[in-house]
Structure 1
Amino acid sequence: MSVQGVHALVRRTHEARVLRVLREHGALSRGQIASKVGLSRTTLSEITGDLLSRGAVVVVDTDAARRAGSGRPAELLTLDPSSGQFLGVDLGHTRVRIAVADAAHDIIAAGHATYPAESAWDERLDAAFALIDRTATRTGVSFRALQGVGVGVHGPRPAVPELAMPFAERFAAPVVVDNNTRFAALAEAMTDGPDVHDVLYIRLSDGIGGGLVVGGRLVAGAGGVAGEFGHVTAQPGGDACRCGKSGCLETVASVPAVLSGCTNAGLNIDTIEDLEAALTRGDPVAEAVVERAAAAVGRVVAAAALVLDPAQIVIGGRLPQCAPALVRRVEEILAGELCPVGGARPAIRAARLGDDDGARGAIAALFRQSPLLDGYPDPVR
């Protein structure tokens, strides 16, 4: 290969790295790009200048709103929003949610629909495709530039081929299938910016699941069950769990378990809204049951934190939304459990995203592996 050919190859490699960073992280300044790809400011300026002239990259804003101190605001660069679309689908127990993002990481369409809990998978898929069609008609999204589809489903071991094939046939695009709670973990991690790499996420809802983001990547585990906090034993010899064990965290801290605990203690409530109302008026029975759930969650999460040493712990789901004090109580328990070890303790917070976190996380997973623009055409010279 000639010297000119080597130079062209190196340049294309640099371009691919720049495009990959923008694909994963969204809008960044030139300085941020340079630090992530390891290029000098001069080389990066040449690369980004060429990409801007070709339309592969556009200027969307400056960092004036988030920079500290004085100085000239830096331009923020991102991929051309029209150069690709990404579809995230979350097939939950009783509803499907979708979100569509462009290459600049902006959500350009979203929607949701419900179905009965006992629906078969083909019925859930029919509901998903009908929702996608309605959303496309309503928003004008054509999917002509679709680069990938992420599908999140409940359960520790998704039936990947059976679920991926219908989407691959429908859209002729790569399809990623994983647990929807793991996708939610990735979405929550990204709300703190591109540099948060280690997050432990637990969701307390009708069931209990979770996810681990390590080094900025989701961890599924050898058997696809990483993050299944709901089936960690929280009370030895406790109530029977649907998994066949007894005393699992899900039998203490899931929404059905908390509602059942309140009923067994003499408080007449049927729904999560009833529980929220009871907590608002300071009902001692409701508070005691939530405290019991928080203590169990705190013990399980503390044990996981001692092993994994995450930078951040995020608690999401319907239960902490209705009972914010639960997150504060878990934080207190972790403060006591982790102090003897020394070092910095993980930050603990409630989830920021709503019920669309699974669909957004599916899109985030696509951003981290899609080959979008790696082969962007050279300009005609």
Structure 2
Amino acid sequence: MSGSVGVHALVRRAHEERVLAILRERGGLSRAQIAARSGLSRTTLSEITGDLLARGAIVVVNTDAPRRAGSGRPAELLALDPRSGQFLGVDLGHTRVRVAVADAAHEIIASGVTAYPAESSWPDRLAAGVALVERVRGERGLTLAALQGIGVGVAGPFPAGAARKDVLAAFAGRFGGSAGAGDQRRDVPAPVVVDNNTRFAALAEAILAEARDVLYIRLADGIGGGLVVGGRLVAGAGGVAGEFGHVKADAAGGLCRCGKRGCLETVAAVPPALQAAGVRDLTELRDRRDEPRVRAAMERVAEAVGRVLAGAALIIDPEQIVIGGPLAHAVPEIVSRAGAVVAAENVGGTGPLIRAARLGDDDGARGAIAASFRQSPLLNGYPTGSAS
């Protein structure tokens, strides 16, 4: 009999961990949504969630009444106790650093941004990131004593070697180490996830759309990208998966900063796009996008982006292709035209959904937080009650 009880306790514990993992990744969900993701029966799930609620491991955070179309009873949304953890996301871009802090229920509770010159040194960028976290923490009165994970996104390919060690030293040493933040002591260091900031943005867009296979490209001062396959980020063997900006788009094109010629970045990044359109900045580009010269320049940009994405789509077969960044935001027609090029190259089925990014400039920080949620040890020691 005792053996049977022990097996039952192990199975129940596994069910609990599954429910907690789903809420850690997704935030507030209804019981029906949890059941669909976990595969648990309604009866079993009701027992599990009832016990977790009684022990305080999860809480009711809201109902789905605001977005319900019918007249039925609103469904409760369950989430991890927001007070049980904090998650820090940092996006170190080419010209600015953005940070966000989320609670365990996936709500952003603090955020901020600081600009710096594009020619800023690597140590200066790291220092700006640390200073911004400290500023946001002070402004919002956060101790970060419940910090459970740190995600840091860096512009360019996957930060390896000394660069990655610098990130870990700057953020883990200051916010995730044994001394924690301020005077708070921590028994277990908060894990730090470091990756390309555009890949983090891809993860954030995939989670928002609940899509498992996403190809993401960002048209900004440079061009980056990311691949989410089976719900997970793909870095590649050398850490450069998704570097669409350095795929050749014009055999006779100009010299790229990577040393090659004719990369997509020499055509569709913001600086060459503005030059081709004959405008000074993105605001002027947006206001004059219907003029013949500007329209023709953006058509060339869209076709180049579409050709690169079409080739990638034939190889990867994504569920969605997401085009983001300030250039696509200023000229939304780029998305539709590039999508038409991808659709024309499709060789079977309906092809991927091609859409504009839904998140703004905080996508990299949000994706960094999402990556931390997936690796967090949150609630590893929550009260378990009796094993029987």
Amino acid at match of 1:216: G
What TM-score comes out, normalization by structure 2 length? 0.91
1:13 aligns with 2:14: yes
Displacement of 1:67 after TM fit? 4.3
Say whether the 8 Å CA contact 1:19–1:374 is kept in structure 2.
no
Say whether the 8 Å CA contact 1:29–1:77 is kept in structure 2.
yes
Displacement of 1:344 after TM fit? 2.1
Paired residues, number? 370
Displacement of 1:62 after TM fit? 2.2
1:167 aligns with 2:171: yes
Say whether the 8 Å CA contact 1:20–1:374 is kept in structure 2.
no
- Counterparts of 1:185-204 in structure 2, within 5 Å, are 185-192=202-209, 195-204=210-219
Say whether the 8 Å CA contact 1:253–1:293 is kept in structure 2.
yes
1:153 aligns with 2:154: yes
Deviations 1:42-82 (A, max 9, x none): 22111111100111111122233444545333221111000
Amino acid at match of 1:186: L
Tell me how far apart the structure 2 counterparts of residues 235 and 312 of structure 1 sit (CA, whole Å): 25
Q: Give SS of 1:99's match.
A: strand
What TM-score comes out, normalization by structure 1 length? 0.93
Amino acid at match of 2:145: R
User: Which runs of 4 or more aligned residues in structure 1 lie more than 6 Å from their structure 2 counterparts after TM superposition?
Assistant: none
1:217 counterpart residue number: 232
Instruction: Give the share of equivalent positions with the same residue, in percent.
Output: 66
Tell me how far apart the structure 1 counterparts of residues 217 and 135 of structure 2 sit (CA, whole Å): 32
Tell me how far apart the structure 2 counterparts of residues 52 and 286 of structure 1 sit (CA, whole Å): 58
- Counterparts of 1:90-129 in structure 2, within 5 Å, are 90-129=91-130
1:278 aligns with 2:288: yes
Q: Give SS of 1:2's match.
A: helix
Tell me how far apart the structure 1 counterparts of residues 307 and 116 of structure 2 sit (CA, whole Å): 35
Which piece of structure 1 moves more, 246-255 or 60-69?
Answer: 60-69
1:346 counterpart residue number: 352
Q: Give SS of 2:241's match.
A: coil
Deviations 1:134-169 (A, max 9, x none): 111111221010001000010113132221122111
Say whether the 8 Å CA contact 1:253–1:296 is kept in structure 2.
yes
Amino acid at match of 1:110: S
Tell me how far apart the structure 2 counterparts of residues 80 and 157 of structure 1 sit (CA, whole Å): 33
Deviations 1:239-288 (A, max 9, x none): 221111111111111111112223xxxx3x33222322321xx3211111
Say whether the 8 Å CA contact 2:114–2:132 is kept in structure 1.
yes
Displacement of 1:342 after TM fit? 2.2
Displacement of 1:228 after TM fit? 0.4
**What is the root-mean-square deviation in Å for CA atoms of aligned residues?**
1.7
Gaps of 5+ in 1: none
Q: Give SS of 1:248's match.
A: coil
Deviations 1:55-110 (A, max 9, x none): 11111222334445453332211110001000000111121100000000000000
Amino acid at match of 1:131: L
Tell me how far apart the structure 1 counterparts of residues 199 and 216 of structure 2 sit (CA, whole Å): 8
Tell me how far apart the structure 2 counterparts of residues 105 and 45 of structure 1 sit (CA, whole Å): 23
Tell me how far apart the structure 1 counterparts of residues 78 and 65 of structure 2 sit (CA, whole Å): 14
